[in-house]
Amino acid sequence: MKFKIVIIFLCILCYSCGQSQSSKLLNKKIPFEKKFKNIGFALLYTKNDNKIKNFDQRSLKIYHKSLKKKSMVKITNPENGKSLIAEVISNKIKFSEFYNSIITERIVEDLDLNLKDPYIEIVLISKNSTFVAKKTKTFDEEKKVAEKAPIEGIQIKNLQEDIKVEKKKKTKSFSYSIKVADFYYKDTAEMMLSRIKAETSLKNSRIIKLSKTKYRVLIGPFNDIKSIKESFEKMKSFNFENLEILKNV
């Protein structure tokens, strides 16, 4: 009898600890992954941006909000799989939280990005990574070529593209969702869902079960970049450090 009482007590204790951890998780900032990764929309630098001076449009460099200066990152265009290595020039420039970086025309051209849908993945590359060792030489060579090569006007290039190609781009559906976070417990995910509904005017939040121990909270889908940006801004009060934007989920 005593043994049964002890077992019941331990079960209650474990459940309480789990609930306590879940509650704490909702009230603290979600930390960066050890290997930082973010997928979302980039912002193309323009000469009208007075906050940035001497940002060479031919360079393979980016501005980021959090990554340290001189950090090396791999940038990929998920649409076509094209990627390149870039360097973070600074994290002190303020720009909308909605964008994961500020990029140059050279990066847009090399990745063949659609300016109406500038969707990219950024992955921080560790200095100790064998990937860096293999790619550093390539980056330096690309950098020299980029600095010497003339920039093809983005607008002119788009105007001269074949009409059929432009039509194909327009027919692609715009469907993106904001990934809030992944949770171990379903109860925790539901608590986050309740908070979003209670503290914001967002009504299109949902939970996707990825596995028995992984529940993802999403907001969306959205059919245009304006609506997703507005919803993204409303999530500021939750202080998530690495909100991501996922396509077709």
What domains can you pick out in the chain, each with its CATH number? 37-171 (2.40.40.10), 176-247 (3.30.70)
Average pLDDT, the chain: 77
Contact 178, 142 (CB under 8 A): no
Report, as an integer, the average pLDDT of 223-248: 89
- Beta-carbon contacts of 44 under 8 Å, excluding residues fewer than 6 positions away, are 102, 103, 104, 105, 108, 115, 118, 154
How confident is the model over 154-202, as pLDDT tens digits? 443 444 444 454 445 455 677 899 999 999 999 999 999 999 999 998 9
CA 234, 172, 104: angle at the middle one, nearest 5? 65
What does the chain come to in residues?
Answer: 249
| pLDDT tens-digit map of 200-229 | 989 899 999 999 999 999 999 998 889 999
Name the amino acid, one letter, at 224.
D
**Residues contacting residue 206 through CB under 8 Å, at least 6 positions apart:** 193, 217, 218, 219
